[in-house]
Every structure is written in C-alpha cells, then in structure tokens.
Structure 1
Amino acid sequence: MQGLYIHIPFCTNRCIYCNFYSTTNQQLQQQYIDSICKELQLRAKEAQHISTIYIGGGTPSILTFEQLNQLFTTIENLWGKEWTEVTLECNPDDLTFTFIEKLTTLPVNRISMGVQTFDNNLLQFLHRRHTAQQAIDAIEMLHEAKLHNISLDLIFGLPNQTLKLWDNDINQALQCNVPHISAYSLMYEEGTSLTKMRNSGKIHEINDELSQSMYALLCQKLKTAGYEHYEISNFCKPHHRSQHNSSYWHEIPYIGIGAAAHSYDGRHRKWNIANITQYMIAIAHKQLPQTIENLDIYTRYNDLITTALRTQEGIDLNQLTLQYGQKLVNYIKQEAQEHLKNGNLIIKNNHLSISEQGLFISDEIMSDLIYLKA
C-alpha cells in the first residue's frame, strides 16, 4: 500500500486560521495542473502502484471537471487503477448539483468537506465562503447522488464559541448522517490573521477548561452515536476509517505532489518548495524542486511517537523492537512508567496506547516519550 497526496493550493479567499500553503491567484490554475502531471511522470518510479489518493489544499473543489479528469487520467496511465480510496477535499458552496453530477463520473469515492462550524456568525468570523445551510444542502445532495462516504471537518475552541454552540455543531453533524467526522481544537498558527488578531487584543483564546469540556462532549456524544474514536481527532462509523490519513499514522510510505507537498519513504522525508512559480519553473526543466532529509533512527522513533501514539492501536512494542532495537524499547518503557501508573497510558497485547483519560494531555505524554539526543 502506498498513498498519493496532491496539493491544490488555490483558494477563492483565505480563512483567518489557515497556515497551509495557498494562494488566491487562480490564473495559474491550468499551468499548475500541467506541472503536477509532469511531476507525477518524473516520480513514477517511486511507487509500483498507488492504493489511496488524497487531493487536498487549498480548495481542490474549485478545479474544473476537465482538470480533475486530467489528474486521474495521468495517475491511471502511470500506476493503473487499483485505488481503494480516492478522497477529494471540497468546500460546501462548490458542491452544486452540476458539480456533484460530474463527480460521480470520476474515480472519487470519498468527500472530505470543510464545514468547521454550523454557526453562521462563527463562519463569517472565520472568513468561510459558505453558510450553515449551504453545508447541510451540500451533504444532502451528496447523499442523493449516492456519494455517502463523507467526512466532515469541524473546529472547536473558537473565540466566543460556547459549550452550547459546540453542542449544536455536534448535533447538526450527527443529523447529517455522515460516516466520518474530524474535529480539531483551534490552533493559533504563526503568521495567520487569527494569531495577529489575538496578539493585538482584538480576540481572546478560550480557556483550557472550556476547551477540554468541548473535547469531552465531542468524545462522549460521538461514542454514544456509534462512532469509533480511532485517532485523537478522528471518529468514524465501522469500516469508514480514512485509509489515506491512516498511512501517515502507521509509517506507510506516501508521495506528495505539488508545491509544498511532503513525501515519506520510510528512511527519508522530502518536501517541495512552497512557491508555485518556482515549483513550475523547476518542473518545466524536469527538476524536482524538493528538499530531502535523511532520517536517523532517533528521528524516526520520535516521528512514531507523534503519529502512531495518536491512534487507538498505539505503538506495537514487538515491532518497535524489530525496527528500532532494545535500547529505544527500554527507553520508552522507562519514560512511560509515570503515565502508566496514572492510567494515562496503557499496555494491552504489547501495544502502548493513550487511555481515554490520557487523551486530554496527549501532547504532554508524547513530549515525555520523545528521545532527546545528548
């Protein structure tokens, strides 16, 4: 199994919390898609076949049908069509009846929709393009088109968001009858408009107690509704885990295509330049505009701590011994002792994982298990 990620950096407008590489200049759209197809050809030998495809951004749903079809045709010509999961990130207001009708003729079998909240005031604050009703209508149209494999993205911990407003968001998401929900605590990323507003005193972060109450409410309500809490921020109905995103958490190699896209092959991490113009110039000269980092055993171990430990299964200590040696196994067991005593970590079937109570301090737990080189 190997995943393929394609980054589409174009947006109609920029949300105030987003720090992903993106641009509102859509004039380069076709030239960029042509460059992506050329990069796919340049990197064809990096994989024998592709199992999952994830087209993210940015806003991939602003691409034309012809541009999406161009991407899939190129991938199929290079690796065949053995894809088990093909995800397209979409904005609700892009999902018109006509667009969805065309989507059904493409290999897309999973939609990841950035809703963030069903509160119109908060949507306006975030500079989202859609309304709550547009999101609900888009989900209904997807169901009518039999594109039932839908994932909703939600954000909690927004300024002025109350526990009641968050409860309303969860209830509305459940009413939409989608098999997958991703919910993230708001992050104040450096360089974003949101962080500048906070630093200037225009807005204020919610306190930790309220944020934890929001997360607890989310976990409880989704569990009651039959969702599996398979990763810290991800919940799904049975058999609806995100196969592609799971590759990030379980050390499965993936190829990242496009400006600012990242790749991982088990021993190296690569990332493309975060500049569309420079990216396209390099590709036109048949050069890969990427930086390569060789990962030593300790870096790979630390990556494992911050990925696999996010999952329900946690870290397989038997596999850890085989891949990383007894020294790091002894290290993780030693550093985990206090959290094991407190019940924040558990070992079951020789898998180390974060307990339900430990989820609320997951960042602290992971930090404690990181190997610090002398």
Structure 2
Amino acid sequence: MALDWLMQLGAAAGKLLLHPIFYFSFILAFIVGMFRVTRERKDFDTRVYDIYQEIRFILPSSLAVGLVLSLIGLTLGLALPADLLSFIAALFIIFSIGGFFLLSPAWTLTAAYAVFFLSERLGYSFISYESLKMSAILTILAVLTALLVIAEGVLIRKRGHQGTSPRLEISKRGQKTAVHLARRLWLVPVFLPVPASRPLDSFADWWPIIPIGAESYYLVLFPFLIGFSMTIRSTLPELAVQSTGRSVIFAGILALLIAAGSYWVWQLSAIAVLFAAVARIAITRRHYSYEKHRPYFFTTQPKGIMIVGVLPGALARKMGLVIGEIITKVNGIPVHTEPEFYKALQKNAAYCKLEVIGKNGQLRFVQGSIYENEHHELGLLFAPEEKEYMDDSVFSD
C-alpha cells in the first residue's frame, strides 16, 4: 500500500506540468509584469523590477503551504469530483480577467459552491458525482474554502509586502504623490483524492486507482490560484500588508470552525463560504476606508527627501537603505529636493555619506562608494515634490 501511495504522489506531481492552470499562471504573471514595467518607466523613467518579478513569487513560497494543505486534505478525505475541479479551474481563468484582486479563494471557491448548489437545486446538473453525496461535496467545498483563505492570509503576511511597486497618482488636491502597489499571484498545488466511479480512460488513463476504504480513488495535484492586490497610500507597505494578512487568517479560521459544523449539519457549509466571502470584502473595505481618511505617506518632508523605491542590485540596497526612510544630509549638505540630492552627491563623485532618519525615527549614518555619471547613482526613487504641481491642480477638496 505504501508503494502505491508513493506511485500516486509521484505521478500526480509529474502530471501537474500538464495542467492548463499551471501554464496560465505564468502567462498571467508575465502579462501583469509587462504592464507594471511600462507604468514604472512612465512614472520614474526607469523600471524598478524586471518583467519576471511576478513570476518569481508564483511557486517557491506556496509549495510549503500546498504541502500542509495536502496533508490535511488527505487526512480528512477532502475528495472532490473531477468535473468540479475542472469547473473551479475554469473559474480561475474567468476571475483573472478582473486581475489578481478577484482570485481570492473566498470568492473563487464561493462562486464554485454557489453555482454547483444552484445547478443541482434547479435541475441543471453539469457535474458527475455518483459516489459522493451532494451534502458531502458542499461540506468539503466549505472546508477547502476556509483552508485556502487561511493559506491566502499566511502568504499575504509572509510574502505580500516584498517587492511592492511604487507608482505615482494624483491626490484630491491635484498634486502628484507616490503610493505602493502590492500585487502577488501564488500557485498552491494540493493533493486531493478524486472518486474513481467511472472508467478513467476518457479522463486520465495514466492514473492508477488506489482503494481508500470502500471506495476507489486516484490522486490529483490540483493547482489552486490565489491572487492578492492592494494599494497602500497612508503607511508603509509592510505594515498595511501584514495587517491585512493577519485579518485574512483570522477570517479563515472562523470560516473553518463554521465549516467543521457542516459535517453534522450540512447547511452550515453555505454559511461558512458566505462568511468567508463577506469577511474578505469587509477586510478590503476596511483598508480603503482607513486610507481614505488619512494623509498620503510618501510626500514632501520638512527635514529631507523620502525614499519611495530602491532599485534591485543598486548601491543603495547594498548600503541598507529601504523605502520610507528620509535622507536629511548628503556629504554633510542638507537636502530637501531631488536636484539638491544629486548636486550634493557631486561633492565627492567616488564616495558618499548619508544622514538618514530610519523607519523607527532614529538618525543613522550610511556610506559607500559610487561611480561618477552612473544613471540613478544610488538606485533611489524619491517622493515627488508637491510644490512642482500646485499650479497645475485639476482637483479640489
């Protein structure tokens, strides 16, 4: 039996490469990366990250999450019909039209639950599930939704704030200001048992069938797409994103507790998925409401210039400079604008010393060698200077 399970796991892992969603996720991330680079060049005359930045986050951080979910799913016997999994994959593609934002499992899997339930109730069934009861499928969908919402929160909290992209936008006062866009796409592969209630030749003749209890099942490594997108205006990206991640985790845990009750009262499964969807919307609305009543964070500073971006591999990154810090002096010269910053750098074309107010509010000193006439000599992007745009105001409070 152990050898059969190993064969199943190995075959499922290998055949993941044949699943359309696997390739779709990379294509989607590549397209989003192209648009991001175009926007960064328009705003800052340079790209911050290369076109493959979104692709780099698709798998590495989500493999461990997928492994944990696989262990839970196989232990609990979270078996779903192959037709339903195919429908969920189609929903990923449809929801992706709205961007990464709509790929939260709180919405994609809730939509799958709603369509499956209504189609059965209205007599328009399009999913074959001979060896499972409808109530069991709904319970499993609810549990899986809650587990994936928890996984979404974990990924947001751990990885969502890394590599955020700065952008410029016009404030209500008609002034240019900088904000940060956190956008991620994760592919979470999860091993799931699929009932083998009909011949497999028409679906996947390379899957050996393994017996689990009184039923026969085969394993699939199903790629769940989880997307995340939020714009941060009033605080540091790390703080806002991690706060959102914690809230999503908490919402997923509550949804899981409700879903667990559906093992005895299946109607609770509907409440669980509805709660997950409403809670996810509430978390998003809370973020926007919070920022609506607070001033922009990346703006002109009275004591220096604020860093809004650090180019990868640049000297500034090696010097330990990060976004949100304020440079007050360059080579002993006070600076308040970007032109003053670069003029002060020329005082010593081969070396610079900076006085910086860190994110903790403490003053520190950094220094390093630079190269004369190098474009973006330190690799820093700064918040726009408000006074340049006050005469061009097109908005009013």
Scaled by the length of structure 1, the TM-score of the pair is 0.24
Q: Which has the larger radius of gyration?
A: 2
Structure with larger RCO (C-alpha < 8 A, sep 6+)? 2
Scaled by the length of structure 2, the TM-score of the pair is 0.23
